[in-house]
Chain A
Amino acid sequence: MPDLLLFLKAAVFSVSASAVTVLALMFCRGSADRKAVTSSPSSVILLLSFLTGVCTGYRTLGFSLDWPPGNALARFLEIILPAIVLIELVASLQKLPRAAVWFLRTTVAAVCGRVLWHGSVYLVAESWTGLTVQTALVLVGCMLSLMMVWLLLFRLRESPVAEVLPIALALCIQTGGLTIMLAGYIKGGAAAIPLATSLAAPILMSLLMHRRCDMRGMLGVGIVSLFSLLFIGRYFGALSTMHGVVIFFAPCLSAISLLPIVRRCKPAVTRLLCLALISVPLLIVLWQAESAFDKRMAPLISESPPPIPVTPPAIAGRG
């Protein structure tokens, strides 16, 4: 049974931790460099805030990390997530050429699915990669989809909707979590809470302070988190392919901001339009997942007994 109070606690702690971290780091940077007092939070600050929020959230949820990781969710939390945060941190420090950074990002996209599948029924012992032609094609498809969405969102980082992209990703992650939970995988769904809140909180904090943020790192972390969560939900839980695909590609709707007619609108209107547009498929998915849950799972956790079937009274004097 999902513990709603615990989930709420994790969300609050996660938001608080990432918001406090972003403020503290901005203050520290301001103290160290007078010129930077009025500047925006850098990608490094946002990533560190995200990391703090995520760690706090998972600790509150009681997730324990054992090595070696025993299941797909643990592999995401212990391998994929630290790897992408590290890559984005290195990329934010601008010590590496852009081509090298994209090579690392592509590597993460390429190995992500294989790492999550490790030791599962999807792999075979005969091949050294563990992959068959069919599973290799699935992973190539997943990698191409991930890179496509990543590149599109990266291109939108200069557009008026840049600020809301991590928020849109957070919405998708949370919707993904709820859908996975409604499909029966409670812990997998709960894993979305710290990710979504830690992604949105530092950005909302910066927006409240009217600062422009450097979104690159948060986009990478957000898109890989969304992909991994949906991948785990699809291949280890009971998330449907259709729901997974719709949630994953929903952030692409923010490309509406590239249309000339939308470009003429005020930035605030464009952002709201973008978020509203992304919310539509997410709400449809949630509604469908909830209906399916009611149909399939609700009788298991229902507090009232099922109705007793009424049998017609025996006809007296028959025969």
Chain B
Amino acid sequence: MMCLKTLCRLFLATVVTAGGIASTAFAADEYVYDLVHSSVSFKARHLDISWIHGRFNEVDGKFSLDRQDPTKSTFLLTIKAGSVDTANPARDEHLRQPDYFDTKQFPTIEFKSKSVKAIEGGYEVTGDFTMHGTTKEITITLMGGKEIESRGVKRVGFSTELKLKRSDYNFDKSAIGPIGDEAIVIIDCEGMSK
């Protein structure tokens, strides 16, 4: 009789533990970056009178969203620096050179989240932003996060805007002349669930 009771308890404990693990495993939805419906663009001041716009055409990334415990969510974004496009091939070639992005030495720009906090209408994500070989901790505000299902694929979208100073990322100071030091990066990202 004792043996049967012990077996029952053990069974119950196993079920509860397995259920717990399963709920943890399924709570976080994983999404991959949808390049077709996303964009990473930027703008910088020219001669302090106007804005030059550009974008990065090759971006990759993934994120996992835990709706129940947002602190367990993760975000990763990798931008190929060589894919810079300002609608002027000569300028793009110049931007790829060591005076600017130095794409042969630093081929990617990366953001990797370290902590996530839910806020109204989105998430506040703190993480390491690596550009031009320099890593700095930044906090970005991701607005959005609404999930819809379209043709059997779950989709979720986020938008953010951040200000970066080139001089903070070890860009050549002498190259900060007509183009302003500060750049505004606009990320509109749509993720698809696997």
Contacts and interface: CB of A to CB of B under 8 A. Distances in A.
A160 interface: no
Interface string A1-28: 1010000000000000000000000000
Interface string B81-117: 0000000101101100111001111010000000000
Contact of A236 (B93, B97, B174): B97
Given A62-B174, A186-B174, A236 B98 contact: yes
Contacts of A119: 105
Q: Which of B88, B103, B133, B172 has the most CB of A within 10 A?
A: B172
Nearest to B132: A70
Interface in A51-103: 62, 70-73
Contacts, number: 59
A147 B99 CA distance: 30
Q: Which of B102, B107, B133, B173 has the most CB of A within 10 A?
A: B102
Given A62-B174, A122-B104, A236-B104, A300 B88 contact: yes
Interface in A216-241: 235-238
Q: Which of B94, B98, B172, B177 has the most CB of A within 10 A?
A: B98
B177 A70 contact: no
Contact of A297 (B94, B102, B104, B178): B94
B170 A73 contact: no
A210 B124 CA distance: 73
Interface residues of A, number: 24
B50 to A, nearest CB: 14
B8 interface: no
B153 interface: no
A35 B170 CA distance: 52
B99 A238 contact: no
Interface in A85-140: 119-122
A300 B91 contact: yes
B175 interface: yes
A119 B133 CA distance: 10
Given A71-B105, A238-B93, A296-B90, A3 B98 contact: no
B97 A1 contact: no
Interface of B: 88, 90-91, 93-94, 97-99, 102-105, 107, 133, 170, 172-175, 177-178
Q: Nearest 6 A-B pairs (CB), nearest first? A: A184-B94, A296-B90, A185-B97, A184-B97, A236-B104, A70-B133
